Amino acid sequence: MRRKTVVDLQKMKAKNEKIAMVTAYDATMARLVDTAGVDMVLVGDSLGMVIQGMEDTLSVTLDDMVYHGRCVARGLSQAHLTVDMPFMSYQVSPEQALLSAGRLIQEGKAQSVKLEGGERSAAGIEKIVTAGIPVVGHIGLTPQSVNSLGGWRVQGRSDDAAEQLIQDAIAVQNAGAFALVLEMVPAELAAEVTAALAIPTIGIGAGPSCDGQVLVCNDLLGLDMSFSPKFLKRYAELENPIKAAVSDYIEEVRAGTFPTEEQSFHRHRTAKKITRLY
């Protein structure tokens, strides 16, 4: 079985087949979502919050992304792997963007890279694509710009903001990106962008009209029940069952009822030959 390619994903839009993408940050989760049949796996810089416990994504480094990309790649056999370019790994210049993208492909084992920004990132996208590296764009709520956006807010609600978002989407497509993430934008605007573009759109908090959807694996599995944004649907609620299982383990260890004979090993005993001397 081969991994999905850029061409496969673009054909899905042409056939009106929805693209399912989830994040993963390690080989175990990658294997599970890959076996389930997901089309794309994103190693998101959201690992700063989900894995590292940070308040935002801004502290994530390129080395972090390379490491987690490499881990996830080992767990995949069919899903396309895209890896986020973290804050300040591409903003300085198109040349810096290309070098960073090259590391994610060479060392992080990505098939494509994802970066934030519309018109402002177009030159970097074009530089990367020209070198033969596929790019996923990302507009709307761009977490690396959370400080300038004034927090985690829906983008594109006013007429002017909506027009700018459309221009950003066109700029990303014209620069050569093969897909575009739309995050936290009005559903009507996302539908308009999706209809206007030849490349697939992947929504998160962007309504049902996008060509695909993405969720963080930990969120859709309910590993943190305190996190409940409007766009999230939990397909499981695993936080409490996991805590209960660990509590049961602790109780048995302290009571001395684990491990039992079933979980124990023993030495091989060999009969000794006794020789009598007379």
Catalytic option among 17, 55, 119, 183: 183
Give Cα separations from 158 to 29, 114, 230 (angstroms). Answer: 39, 26, 20
Would residue 126 show up in a list of annotated catalytic residues for this protein?
no
Q: What is the C-alpha to C-alpha distance for residues 86 and 253, in angstroms, rounded to an integer?
A: 42
Q: Cβ of 157: how many Cβ atoms within 10 Å?
A: 13
Q: Which residues contact 230 (CB under 8 A, 6 or more apart)?
A: 205
**How far is residue 199 CA from its own chain's centroid?**
19
Both tokens assigned to 111: 């098939």
Provide φ and ψ at 213, rounded to 5°: -135, 155
> Catalytic positions, please?
183
